[in-house]
Amino acid sequence: MREISLDRLKTLVAVADSGSFADAAQALHLSPPTVSLHISDLEARVGAQLLSRKRGHVRPTSVGEALVERARRLLADAERTLEDIERHAQGLAGRVRIGASTGAIAHLLPQALQTLRLDHPDIDVQVAILTSQETLGRLHRGALDLGLVALPQSQIKGLTLRQWRRDPVMAFLPAHWEMPKRVTPDWLATQPLILNDSTTRLSRQTAEWFAAAGHHPTPRIELNYNDAIKSLVAAGYGAALLPHEATTPHTDERIAMRALRPALWRDLGIAHHTGPLERSTQHVLDALWGLRLR
């Protein structure tokens, strides 16, 4: 059987419901000859009679009944599909793919997702845990829609990269330690350390901070998950250098935070494709900008 037009199926359902070619034509705003043509075309494609006339009333044949039943489902599914696509086009629904580090995913991104859930609950956000370089690479290939990346980064053609947040890096220390009011490289280099692994931008920043004072300490352990690092600090295993987001409460009494001297900052940026964005992506971007700090 060749392809069947949804318009012709709609005509068949209208005739079956009204029991009249004329009434179906009026309901569909078509001429009676057009309705007859639609039914003839369907019968030719199916290879069987679909409607019979008895006592001036048009009724589906057994084959026609089977096709009418399936036509109703097809038409309803087509209508739902169009409604879904319209919602997607209006930014009320859709899928947005984000690449981000574990640090951003742990505290910052959930805050934006909570806002998004309240304002746009039908937008599906898919998150991939990636390094900044992996995020930019996938974004450039079109495999992501947005990226949260550590700064600075080289500009990539076709991508827009803007600063999003600037958070201070703090010393996270076991609260029972004796410690200065401000932590220097000289003091911290003598303590047991828990640092980010070498794949992260923060690891390179930390190494440069120590090196500027002539130190190259070896940590007890390197991790790429800030919450796990904080748990080890709370257990007294060592000290860590981590960004502190002002919007994230600090509630663990086993951990003390101290400012660094000299100060150290973690800069994050948002990357996306240059040019107009889909509305669903723009809604996610707006939620992220709501967390912007300078």
Tens digit of each residue's pLDDT (9 = 90 or more) over 80-113: 877 777 766 666 678 899 999 877 777 788 888 8
* Residue 219 in this model has a pLDDT that exceeds 70: yes
Per CATH, the number for 167-265 is 3.40.190.290
Segments of the chain assigned to CATH 3.40.190.290: 167-265
Per CATH, the number for 94-165+269-291 is 3.40.190.10
Segments of the chain assigned to CATH 3.40.190.10: 94-165+269-291
Segments of the chain assigned to CATH 1.10.10.10: 6-90
How far apart are alpha carbons 54 and 270 in whole angstroms?
69
Dig out the tokens for 160 from the structure.
């827009």
pLDDT bin (cut points 50, 70, 90) of residue 247 is low
pTM of the model: 0.66
pLDDT tens sequence across 129-184? 998 999 999 999 999 999 999 999 998 999 999 999 999 999 999 999 999 999 99
Per CATH, the number for 6-90 is 1.10.10.10
Q: What is the reported pLDDT for 67?
A: 92
Q: What is the reported pLDDT for 216?
A: 96
